Amino acid sequence: MSTLDALQKGLSTGDVEVIDLTAPLSPSTPVLQLPPPFANTIPLSLEPVSDFDEAGPAWGWNNIHTGEHTGTHLDAPTHWATGRSGRSVDQIPPARLVGPLAVLDVTEQVRADPDFLLEPGHLQEWETQNGPLPQGAWLLLRTGWSARGGSQETFLNADEQGPHTPGVSVAAAQWLAASGISGFGVETVGIDAGAAGGFEPPFPAHHFLLGADKYGITQLQNLDRLPTSGALILVAPLPVVGGTGSPARVYAFVERS
């Protein structure tokens, strides 16, 4: 049996399960809020073109208004100053958007501290237990944060000091940028921690990963349904020509034994 025949058979029998890691995209999907003087992106809205009316008696359709970085989305290298001369979202090779999935679970730490930062030691510990991160892998940081996705306020979790959401330290961002991964995914609104604007350099996940031709994906969910390793991920952003990112559909293929 060919590899693809085996996959198809597994899909039809349910031995291979397809899990949607994408957050629903609606006008109430939480969106990043930067403080003044910075500009912000827009949430999703639908503008009816026709709705089975005189503008289109037998059909309904909408214009979509959204940002590249709204909802579950991919960050392309051109999103950041360090990757500005790199790939825009349409230029990412398709093979980089499919790969082995690695899940690092810090749910307990984040429950105790919403400002939790992943350190290189956590990554080294993962590799000690599971083997080296595979070449071309997508590492997903499981934090449990997607449970807050129903509310912009609890999802952004901001006070006078700014947002309190988990992420990676400067050293962990450097570690990941030097690794063989294709991308890094999170449950939060962006690939950096809420406090990362005050780090040196600011927003180190963006700085180091996008500058090293690694890609980011945000606002993932259902990570609690994934094995630590052994699953396959498919990340599907729109090929917006010159785009710095795109809303993306993200699937995991998980083998049930």
Say how many residues touch Mn ion, by CB under 5 A.
2
Measured distance CA(188)–CA(195) in Å, rounded: 13
CB 253 within 8 A of CB 232: yes
Q: How far is the CB of 86 from Mn ion (least distance, A)?
A: 15
E-strand stretches of 169-242: 183-185, 215-217, 231-237
> Applying CB under 5 A, does 214 fall inside the site for Mn ion?
no
Which neighbouring-strand residues pair with 246? 74
Q: Is the peptide bond before 201 cis (omega within 30 degrees of 0)?
A: yes
Non-local (6+) Cβ contacts of 60 within 8 A are: 48, 50, 51, 52
**Which window, 61-69, 92-100, 134-142, 180-188, contacts Mn ion (CB under 5 A)?**
61-69
> Applying CB under 5 A, does 192 fall inside the site for Mn ion?
no
Contacting residue, 16, 69, 140, 185, with Mn ion by CB under 5 A: 69
Q: How far is the CB of 75 from Mn ion (least distance, A)?
A: 4
Measured from the CB atom, the residue of 69 and 207 that comes closer to Mn ion is 69
Assess whether 207 carries a catalytic annotation. no
Q: Rounded to whole angstroms, what are the CA distances from 90 to 78, 144, 237, 239?
A: 11, 30, 8, 4
Q: How far is the CB of 70 from Mn ion (least distance, A)?
A: 9
Task: Write each residue from 152 to 191 as x if it is in contact with Mn ion (CB under 5 A), else as -, in one continuous string.
Answer: ----------------------------------------
Measured from the CB atom, the residue of 16 and 250 that comes closer to Mn ion is 250
**Which window, 2-10, 62-70, 112-120, 180-188, contacts Mn ion (CB under 5 A)?**
62-70
Quote the Cα angle for 91-93-98, to 5°: 135
CB 149 within 8 A of CB 221: yes
Measured from the CB atom, the residue of 69 and 122 that comes closer to Mn ion is 69
> Applying CB under 5 A, does 75 fall inside the site for Mn ion?
yes
Measured from the CB atom, the residue of 10 and 86 that comes closer to Mn ion is 86
Which neighbouring-strand residues pair with 105? 142
HSE value, Cβ hemisphere, 13 Å, CA-based, for 239: 6
Measured from the CB atom, the residue of 100 and 163 that comes closer to Mn ion is 163
Considering 79, 122, 206, 207, which one is annotated as catalytic? 79
Which spans of this chain sit near Mn ion (rule: CB under 5 A)?
A: 69, 75
Please give the positions annotated as active site: 79
